[in-house]
Amino acid sequence: MKAFRILGRNIRDSFKSVFRNFSLSLASISCITITLIVMSLAIILSYNVNNFVELVERDVTIVAFLDNDVTDEEVDVIRDSIDSLGYIDTVTYSSKEEVTTEIKNSSETFSNIMASWDETDNPLQPTFQVKVTDIDQIGNIADEIKNMENVDIVKYGEGMIEQLVKVFDTVRKVTIGIVIALVIVTAFLIANTIKITIFSRKREIEIMRLVGASNTNIKIPFILEGLFLGALGSIIPIVVSVYGYNALYNNFDGQVISPFIKLIAPQPFITLVSLVLLVIGILVGMFGSWRAVRKYLKI
């Protein structure tokens, strides 16, 4: 009962304090707001880059052209051997006829030319399209498929794919690094801002100690205040992120540059980002207050 009364008063006092020290609170809130906006940009960017990478990687296909005279039994043997390799996602077989129809359907010109072919003229080969789960393994898998019997040529965009993987890997690492660095920098920036605002309330802390407030008793209102500041500071970044991202998504119709590079759908992505921003704001506000007030409790 007593503890609840004290906690209730702490919540009331920290609320009051936000408004009584309004100009100082505003300094902390704006600091949190600005850094959270930058952080939100970094998070959105890094997740989207990750998303691009995944989409591109998922789309990379090994095409194995089989010998023209391959029998159905031999096709099954090849399918089984490919399936038994590691890191295989999907294996699709297109017979000579299927390939021919597909190409015929893709363009009228091709269709006209191919109409004149007979069974022996048709140079198209039956193929296996193999998608892999780990793009780093694509070279090895391609080599193994090439060594199988009845496999003529294997193509997967050699050279270009390796380079693409390297670039994406770097981009991914850099964006993750930026987000982590931003979280740390924000925490300390806000801790210092709150430290300055609390410095002006050294006297208040001194008086609290004087009238017999225990250290915990003194810390709680300041930490709660940090919580409120963090929550208030995350409002604008959340609004900006939600509206901004939705507008961006609608503007580009979910696509940037090419159909391969797609933005992440706003839901539930942006809700999660908002939650992350709120939690980071609150934690960082509380951490900042706690660090700052601790300094004045050592006598």
Residues near another protein, by CB under 8 A: 2-3, 5-6, 9, 20, 203-204, 206-215, 217, 297-299
Considering beta carbons, is residue 229 or 282 the nearer one to another protein? 229
Considering beta carbons, is residue 192 or 217 the nearer one to another protein? 217
Task: Report CA-CA distances (Å) from 271 to 40, 56, 233.
Answer: 12, 25, 17
- Shortest separation between residue 19's beta carbon and another protein, angstroms: 10
Cβ-contact 131, 90 below 8 angstroms: yes
Considering beta carbons, is residue 50 or 217 the nearer one to another protein? 217
Considering beta carbons, is residue 121 or 298 the nearer one to another protein? 298
- Shortest separation between residue 214's beta carbon and another protein, angstroms: 4
- Shortest separation between residue 221's beta carbon and another protein, angstroms: 11
Which residues make beta-bridge pairs with 243? Answer: none
Considering beta carbons, is residue 211 or 257 the nearer one to another protein? 211
Which one, of 111, 291, 117, lies nearest residue 196 by Cα?
291
d(CA 260, CA 52): 8
Cβ-contact 36, 280 below 8 angstroms: yes
- Shortest separation between residue 168's beta carbon and another protein, angstroms: 53
- Shortest separation between residue 212's beta carbon and another protein, angstroms: 4
- Shortest separation between residue 246's beta carbon and another protein, angstroms: 42
| Cα pseudo-dihedral 205, 211, 214, 220, rounded to 10 | -50
- Shortest separation between residue 296's beta carbon and another protein, angstroms: 12
Considering beta carbons, is residue 20 or 155 the nearer one to another protein? 20
Considering beta carbons, is residue 52 or 228 the nearer one to another protein? 228
E-assigned strand segments in the chain: 61-66, 88-94, 127-132, 151-155, 255-256, 258-262
Chain centroid to CA 65: how far? 36
| Cα pseudo-dihedral 111, 115, 119, 120, rounded to 10 | -90
Tell me how crowded residue 18 is: count the other CB atoms within 10 A of its CB: 19
Q: Compute φ and ψ for 89, nearest 5 degrees.
A: -95, -70
